[in-house]
Amino acid sequence: MAIDFLYFNTYHVAVDCIIFGFDEEGLKLLLCKRSFDPEKGKWSLMGGFLNPEESLDQAAQRVLTRITGLKDIYLEQFDVFSDVSRDPAARVVSAAYYALIKIGDYSNDLIAEFGAKWWPVSQYPELIFDHGQMVEEALVALRLKAKQEPIGFELLPQFFTIRQLRSLYESIYQTQLDPGNFRKKILSMKLLDQLPIKDKENSKRGAYYYEFNQQRYERFKSQGFLFEM
Amino acid sequence: MAIDFLYFNTYHVAVDCIIFGFDEEGLKLLLCKRSFDPEKGKWSLMGGFLNPEESLDQAAQRVLTRITGLKDIYLEQFDVFSDVSRDPAARVVSAAYYALIKIGDYSNDLIAEFGAKWWPVSQYPELIFDHGQMVEEALVALRLKAKQEPIGFELLPQFFTIRQLRSLYESIYQTQLDPGNFRKKILSMKLLDQLPIKDKENSKRGAYYYEFNQQRYERFKSQGFLFEM
DNA sequence: ATCTTTAAAGGTACTTTGTACTATTTATTT
DNA sequence: AAATAAATAGTACAAAGTACCTTTAAAGAT
């Protein structure tokens, strides 16, 4: 075979991002109203086309920065969507990423600009193309990852209570967790530093704030420790 | 933004396959000598370009069928490689897959045709482009998957002994496993059917052959059972 | 000022699972 | 017939997970 033949066909390449956030109400998903055809005005994921001078990871970061104003966002690529007719306007191969952001850091100005809105993961509108399937796969990938890596902290503010952390895991796994046992387990890992401040909003006694110690996690991991929830 | 601009750039899109096999010597990797430029004559993964009428999964199956003669091969897509200069001849975005095949099913004729060779995963030659990185990532993905899904059977013949299965897990995880405990654990899952035949090659007493019961696994899974090794 | 309430924090008893090791079985080989 | 080798079975202990209870701290009500 000649190079001419092998290197003949080319395709549009895109990234699509499932942006997760978390607040008192649970796990959420940032969707936007599409501002161009096809399917203009319908709800969709944040996405964009690959530029010639960047990798897919860089393209995803660029799209996320444009939409959230944030830099160095936690990102995981979890699948590529390549069905021949997934985008009726053109043949587009799309790398799907999920991103975790601290919902409080997200600027409300941008919501207006992009027609964006946070939706509960259990109740979001119909999406264009195969974006609904992407969301469901992202949730599966997120659940898997959250069992093996301490990524939950990417969704919480820097300081948080054990209750908030438990509530996050409860909303990721759609289940109730025993408060005492959850507490015992997470504290036994020695990855949280207790702060001398309490949250008194949710209880009279007050719950201590904690902070995730990333450095200690890296150290433990290099010594063979495996995070598991 | 106009469609013209958004849908402007296009790229070459490819698939690359890490083909795993297993025999008495351990976990192996099928590599081939590249028959065309660039890097003609060097070792590389099996790969190919995406055709306009197929999805990436279909492209990967096509490549694998061409190279192994087998159909319906177990495949997992685990990453996309998109660095700007990963292929010096052109900008190529490549979806990486790992495949699991029963090494005995692989035709030796094809080894000659493609200049292919099985290599131990712990000792394979230098590969072109980013293929070495792909192999290492594939191993990580395989190890993760093997913990959560009974995919090991894709690498074993239909009938196998507990010793063979243990040996497979030992070579995937590069560790020694206690024979009694391994046996107790795998049998407690009730996923293996014992056959009335024994292997007498490796022991005087003889070890029963077993068969993985896929149907029972599907049933258990739908009832909430989680495979875990 | 004391009592009540609330959730945090800490503790206990029990069950399940994992681990290390020992003993027995079976059929071949010497 | 005895020695053997690995399969198979069993056992005792350790660790982890689960369900549930008790105590504590501080706010708010009486």
Q: Residue A227 falls within a domain, yes or no?
A: no
Average pLDDT estimate for B186-204: 92
Find residues whose C-beta atom lies within 7 angstroms of strand C: A 161-163, 179-181, 183-184, 198, 202-208; B 178, 180-181, 184-185, 200, 204-206, 228
Which DSSP letter does residue A28 get? E
Residue B53 contacts A where some CB pair is shorter than 8 Å: yes
Instruction: Mark whether A81 and A172 lie in a shared domain.
Output: no
Instruction: Mark whether A166 and A132 lie in a shared domain.
Output: no
Residue B62, classified by CB atoms within 10 Å of its CB into exposed (0-12), middle (13-18) or buried (19+), is middle
For position B172, which CATH number holds? 1.10.10.10
Instruction: Mark whether B121 and B86 lie in a shared domain.
Output: yes
Q: What percent of chain B has pLDDT over 90?
A: 81
Q: Which of A49, A82, A89 sits opposite B9 (nearest CB)?
A: A49
- Which residue from A80, A61, A50, A82 is spatially nearest to A19, judged by alpha carbons? A61
Q: Which of A9, A36, A53 sits opposite B51 (nearest CB)?
A: A9
B81's torsion region: left (phi>0), alpha (psi -120 to 50) or beta? beta
Residue A89 contacts B where some CB pair is shorter than 8 Å: yes
Instruction: Mark whether B118 and B203 lie in a shared domain.
Output: no
Distance from CA of A48 to the nearest CA of B (A): 8
Distance from CA of A132 to the nearest CA of B (A): 18
The answer, yes or no, to whether residue A188 has pLDDT greater than 80, is yes
Instruction: Mark whether A167 and A121 lie in a shared domain.
Output: no
Instruction: Mark whether A98 and A179 lie in a shared domain.
Output: no
Q: Which of A97, A127, A147 is the last residue of a domain?
A: A147
Q: Residue A7 falls within a domain, yes or no?
A: no
Average pLDDT estimate for B25-48: 89
Partner residues linked to A120 by β-bridges: A28
Domain count of the fold of chain B: 2
The answer, yes or no, to whether residue A172 has pLDDT greater than 90, is yes
For position A126, which CATH number holds? 3.90.79.10
The answer, yes or no, to whether residue A173 has pLDDT greater than 80, is yes
**Are β-strands A26-33 and A116-120 bridged in parallel, bridged antiparallel, or unpaired?**
antiparallel
pLDDT band at A6 (very low <50, low <70, confident <90, very high): low
Q: Residue A4 falls within a domain, yes or no?
A: no
Q: Do residues B29 and B124 lie in contact, with contact meaning Cβ atoms separated by under 8 Å?
A: yes
Tokens of A222: 């290099």
Encode pLDDT of B155-178 as tens digits: 999 999 999 999 999 999 999 999
Rounded Cα gap, residues A165 and A184, in angstroms: 13
Q: Which of B9, B55, B89 sits opposite A82 (nearest CB)?
A: B55
Q: Do residues B101 and B18 lie in contact, with contact meaning Cβ atoms separated by under 8 Å?
A: no
Residue A40 contacts B where some CB pair is shorter than 8 Å: no
Instruction: Mark whether A142 and A166 lie in a shared domain.
Output: no
Chain B residue nearest residue A48, CA to CA: B6
Rounded Cα gap, residues B166 and B161, in angstroms: 9
pLDDT band at B109 (very low <50, low <70, confident <90, very high): confident
Q: Residue B195 falls within a domain, yes or no?
A: yes
The answer, yes or no, to whether residue B214 has pLDDT greater than 50, is yes
**Segment holding B134, helix H or strand E:** helix B131-148
Partner residues linked to A24 by β-bridges: none
Q: Residue B74 falls within a domain, yes or no?
A: yes
Q: Which of B123, B147, B171 is the last residue of a domain?
A: B147
Residue B4: its pLDDT value, please?
47
Tokens of A9: 């066909």
Tokens of B103: 């090494």
Residue A146: its pLDDT value, please?
97
- Which residue from B221, B199, B99 is spatially nearest to B150, judged by alpha carbons? B221
Q: How many CB pairs under 8 A join A and B?
A: 91
Rounded Cα gap, residues A74 and A97, in angstroms: 10
Which residue type sits at A128?
I
Instruction: Mark whether A137 and A88 lie in a shared domain.
Output: yes
Tokens of A228: 């598991």
Residue B3 contacts A where some CB pair is shorter than 8 Å: yes
Encode pLDDT of A110-125 as tens digits: 777 888 999 999 999 9
Residue A2: its pLDDT value, please?
39
Encode pLDDT of A56-70 as tens digits: 999 999 999 998 999
Instruction: Mark whether A140 and A46 lie in a shared domain.
Output: yes
Q: Residue B199 falls within a domain, yes or no?
A: yes
The answer, yes or no, to whether residue B38 has pLDDT greater than 90, is no
Round the average pLDDT of chain A to a whole number and report it.
Answer: 93
Residue A1: its pLDDT value, please?
39
Which residue type sits at B85?
S
Alpha carbon of residue A125 to chain centroid: 18
Residue B7: its pLDDT value, please?
64
Instruction: Mark whether A167 and A89 lie in a shared domain.
Output: no
Mutate to test the interface with B, among A3, A8, A9 (most CBs of B within 10 A): A9
Rounded Cα gap, residues B75 and B78, in angstroms: 10
Average pLDDT estimate for B88-111: 91
Q: Which of A147, A174, A203 is the last residue of a domain?
A: A147
Instruction: Mark whether A56 and A140 lie in a shared domain.
Output: yes
- Which residue from B125, B222, B161, B92 is spatially nearest to A55, judged by alpha carbons? B92
Rounded Cα gap, residues A197 and A153, in angstroms: 19
Q: Who has greater pLDDT, B36 or A82?
A: A82
Instruction: Mark whether B113 and B167 lie in a shared domain.
Output: no
Kindly list the distances between the CA atom of residue B97 and the CA atoms of A93, A145, A165, in Å, as whole numbers in the listed order.
Answer: 16, 20, 35
**Domain containing residue A42:** 12-147
Tokens of A211: 């902070």
DSSP labels, A121-153: TTS----STTHHHHHHHHHHHHHHHHHHS--GG
Q: Residue B111 falls within a domain, yes or no?
A: yes
Torsion, CA A145, CA A150, CA A155, CA A158, rounded to 10: -170
Q: Given an 8 Å threshold on Cβ–Cβ distance, is A82 in contact with B50? A: yes
Three-state DSSP class for B61?
A: helix
